[in-house]
Amino acid sequence: MRPLPEAQQDVLAAVPSLPVEEVPLLQSSGLVLAAPAVAPHDVPPFANSAMDGYAVRAEDVHDAPVILKVLEDLPAGYVAASTVGSGTAVKIMTGAPIPDGADAVVQVEDTELRNGVVWIGSSVTAGTHVRAAGGDVAAGTRVFETGERLGAAHLGVLASIGLARPTVRRRPRVAILSTGDEILAPDVAVLQPGQIRDSNRMVLFSLLSELGADVLDLGIVRDDADLLRATLDRAVGEADAIITSGGVSMGEYDLVKTVLRDLGQISFWQVAMQPGKPFAFGLLHGTPFFGLPGNPVSVMVAFEQFARPALLHMMGATYLFRPRIRGRLLQPARTNPEKVVFLRVNVRWGGTGEWTAELSGGQLSNMLSAMAHGNAFAVVPVGIGSVEADDEVELEMFTWPELRTKAEVLDG
């Protein structure tokens, strides 16, 4: 058996980087910068008001209450025609540029406007309610480095600096297929004895969508060498990576293995992990190939440990793995000391200042419902044969689901 970290190293070392291109900002969500993002100008681009109120000279309102003459009314998007001199003010809206001469804003709540003059009820110091030019991002700043994965706030920041076509690595196109004569599409009404429905392709489709990949769905391929070879040929021609499930274990009908061995360059590993031990990896004419096991939980674990970090690496991301936290496992668990064991657990914030985890269901590798009911893997390292109740474990969060029902919110 190969140690998991060693297998992960081999995968990351082998996968190529996707090509670099410029894409419209609205198509860049989830992609990774391939060049630093440098701000060509300040954000905000000009000093502006943080409040609706009156732009004043702080020294004029030092002895508030005072009365000032209102020179004009300044909405956001316009520049004041007048200069704020002694004894005057400009009525200003949030986001409007601070007029020349003014150095502070009195919020509208502390004022009263009457017949062209404003009563100022409170004093302010210079700079109050003024957002400085460049206060968020100064011109010339490298806001994001190469390798940063773009999320919602990143897109907003790139927009604010006018980087409308960020330089990123291309969105990966990933081919998926399921293997097995027993596997049928999910919409088949009646299963004959021996048949099951295809869970793995649904799982992979969703995992890849979450990652921001485009999925090329090659369906279910029967255990037929020619069919499989033809399908993989198509995948090599059209995809940046290929992910299959099934057919990589020791069984007699393990065709993926046979076909791939012919195509060469693929290694079949027994990885010291549970679930997900049998795993095939290599390059098919340069295209990374991930041969995941057949059992659905193994598929998810192997995807998380191999395919997801590898795809993120191909996309150019600096950070590749899901976050791990530490918490207490509430039940005891026996584990195989020869392998890294990924227990399916449900992690909750205890309210006692710590995370707690409970097994989320049956722990066999075909029991996918325990993955659906869980949100994390409790990762039990090699060399540990059992975890006692209340022992601290590492928890790899594979999802951070929403909490709090409407009823809970309404109840306060």
Indicate the residue among 146 and 267 with the shorter CB distance to ligand AMP: 267
Q: Give least dist CB 176 to Mg ion, A.
A: 15
Q: Which of 166, 246, 296, 316 binds Mg ion (CB under 5 A)?
A: 246
CA torsion 378-384-387-390 (nearest 10°) is -80
Q: Does 293 bind ligand AMP (CB under 6 A)?
A: yes
Q: Does 275 bind ligand AMP (CB under 6 A)?
A: no
Member of 97, 166, 212, 247 binding Mg ion (CB under 5 A): 247
Q: Are 299 and 200 in contact (CB under 8 A)?
A: yes
Rg of the chain in Å (alpha carbons): 30
Judged by CB under 6 A, how many residues of this single chain contact ligand AMP?
Answer: 17
Separation CA 81–CA 88 (nearest Å): 13
Q: Which is closer to ligand AMP, CB of 28 or CB of 245? A: 245
9 and 163 Cβ atoms separated by less than 8 Å: no
Closer by beta carbon to ligand AMP, 48 or else 178: 178
Stretch that binds ligand AMP, among 48-56, 113-121, 132-140, 294-302 (CB under 6 A): 294-302
Q: How far is CA 336 from CA 350, 371, 382, in A?
A: 28, 20, 8
Tokens (6 digits) for 409? 């919110």
Nearer to ligand AMP, 185 or 389 (CB): 185
Mark residues 199-238: x for contact with ligand AMP by CB under 6 A, - for none: xx--------------------------------------
> What are the start-end ranges of the E strands in 255-367?
266-270, 273-274, 278-284, 287-292, 324-329, 333-334, 340-349, 355-359
Binding partner selected for residue 199 from ligand AMP, Mg ion, none, CB under the kind-specific 5 to 8 Å limit: ligand AMP
Residue 249 is a binding residue for ligand AMP (CB under 6 A):
yes
271: contact with ligand AMP by CB under 6 A: no
Residue ranges in 161-294 assigned as alpha helix (H): 200-211, 225-238, 255-263
Residue nearest to ligand AMP (CB): 294
Contacts of ligand AMP in 176-195 (CB under 6 A) = 178, 180, 182-183
Q: Which is nearer to ligand AMP, 133 or 221 (CB)?
A: 221
DSSP 366-386: T-THHHHT-SEEEEE-TT--E
From first CA to last CA, the distance across the chain in angstroms is: 53
231 binds, among ligand AMP, Mg ion, none (CB under 5 to 8 A by kind): none
Comparing CB distances to ligand AMP, the nearer of 123 and 178 is 178
Q: Is 251 in the site for ligand AMP (CB under 6 A)?
A: yes
Whether the CB-CB separation of 298 and 307 falls below 8 Å is answered with: no
Reduced to 3 states, what is the DSSP secondary structure of residue 73? strand
Q: CB of residue 177 vs ligand AMP: minimum separation in angstroms? A: 9
Q: Could you tell me how far CA 220 lies from the centroid of its own chain? A: 29
The Cα 271–Cα 277 span in angstroms is 5
Of the candidate spans 73-81, 84-92, 246-254, 381-389, the one that interacts with Mg ion by CB under 5 A turns out to be 246-254
- How many beta carbons lie within 10 A of that of residue 364, not counting itself? 11
Q: Report if residue 296 touches Mg ion, rule: CB under 5 A.
A: no
DSSP for 33-45?
BSS-EE-SS-BSS
Burial class of residue 258, CB neighbours in 10 A (0-12, 13-18, 19+): middle
Among 53, 134, 166, 180, binds Mg ion (CB under 5 A): 180
| Per-residue interface string for the shown chain with Mg ion, residues 265-294, x marking contact by CB under 5 A | -----------------------------x
Note the residues at the interface with Mg ion (CB under 5 A): 180, 246-247, 294
Note the residues at the interface with ligand AMP (CB under 6 A): 178, 180, 182-183, 196, 198-200, 245-247, 249, 251, 293-296
